[in-house]
Structure formats: C-alpha cells, structure tokens
C-alpha cells in the first residue's frame, strides 16, 4: 500500500482540457477561472492580448458572435507546466462553419494558464472559411423539403 500523499491539484493537461471544454460551452466566465491575471494569448502572427482584461474582451467577442466552438484534440503532451496540443478547431456562426488544424502551446503555473499561443496556417483558415461560406450559399439555394413549385403547365 502506498503511503505517498495524493495530489488534489489538477495536472496542467487537466487545466487545459477543462479550459477548452469551457470554451466549447461558450462559458467565458468558467474559462476565465483557468486564466492567470497576467495571461498572454496570441494567434501567431497577430499581436498578443496581454492581461486578463484584453483576454476577456477577445473571449467575450468570440462568445457574442460565435454560435459554436469545438476543439478536437488529436494529441496532447505535457512537460512540467507546458502543454502542447495538436487539434482541429471548429468555429461556427449560425449556419457558417469552418474547421482548421491548430497547434497550441499552453503554459500553466499554479493551476492557471499564463500563456496560450496558437499556430495555424492562415491559407488553410481562409480556404476553410470560404468553403463554409460556399456551404451556406448552397444550403440557401437548395429547395426546402415539401416546397414544390408548380410550373405554368401544371
């Protein structure tokens, strides 16, 4: 029988996955509980948001205009307080959806995320976004089930 004390402190990986889960629920208040007051958030190569206020503004904007977010984690690795993720992110605004590959770096200290930096290919994001717009347009042009128009010869 082991006599070593068990830690109730979540691992860095658990913090990151709980954080991403909160974002998937568009629950900014819950997501903020995982963020350090001095968090740095960056989608490379855009400038970073520094501090909880700047980070909160970006997250609330995402939740206000977005109707869905999903982080499909394919791989996750932890080394100390650093967590690396390889994932597919899905963004939705009403019927528009886009999916793209992302690698993320998270730094976690004392159970709080101090750094979140995502890397992705902008060309892929633009192409996926255009595909999402095309899908919306196609859906709008399709006849609705049960909506049959009578022709002049009917």
Q: Return the SS3 of 146.
A: coil
CATH topology of domain 12-140: Nuclear Transport Factor 2; Chain: A, (3.10.450)
What tens digit of pLDDT does each residue of 31-60 get? 999 999 999 999 998 899 999 999 999 999
Tokens 């595909």 belong to 131
Region 115-131: mean pLDDT is 79
Which are the catalytic amino acids?
89, 118
Under the banding of pLDDT at 50, 70 and 90, the label for residue 145 is: confident
What is the distance between the alpha carbons of residues 110 and 40, in angstroms, rounded to a whole number?
Answer: 16
- 65-114 confidence digits (pLDDT tens): 888 899 999 999 999 999 999 999 998 888 778 888 999 999 999 999 99
Q: What is the pLDDT of residue 1?
A: 54
Which of 22, 27, 6, 11 shows the shortest CA–CA distance to 111?
Answer: 11
**Domain assignments of the chain as residue spans, ordered by start:** 12-140
């Amino acid at each position: 029988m082991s006599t070593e004390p068990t830690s109730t402190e979540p691992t860095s990986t658990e913090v990151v996955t709980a954080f991403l889960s909160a974002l998937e629920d568009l629950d900014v208040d819950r997501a903020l509980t995982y963020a350090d007051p001095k968090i740095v958030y960056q989608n490379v190569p855009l400038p970073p948001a520094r501090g909880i206020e700047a980070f909160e503004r970006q997250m609330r904007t995402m939740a206000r205009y977005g109707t869905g977010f999903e982080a499909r984690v394919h791989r996750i690795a932890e080394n100390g307080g650093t967590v690396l993720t390889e994932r597919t992110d899905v963004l939705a605004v009403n019927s528009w959806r886009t999916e793209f590959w992302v690698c993320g770096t998270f730094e976690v200290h004392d159970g709080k995320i101090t750094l979140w930096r995502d890397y992705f290919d902008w060309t892929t994001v633009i192409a996926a976004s255009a595909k999402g717009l095309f899908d919306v347009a196609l859906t709008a042009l399709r006849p609705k089930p049960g909506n049959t128009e009578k022709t002049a010869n009917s």
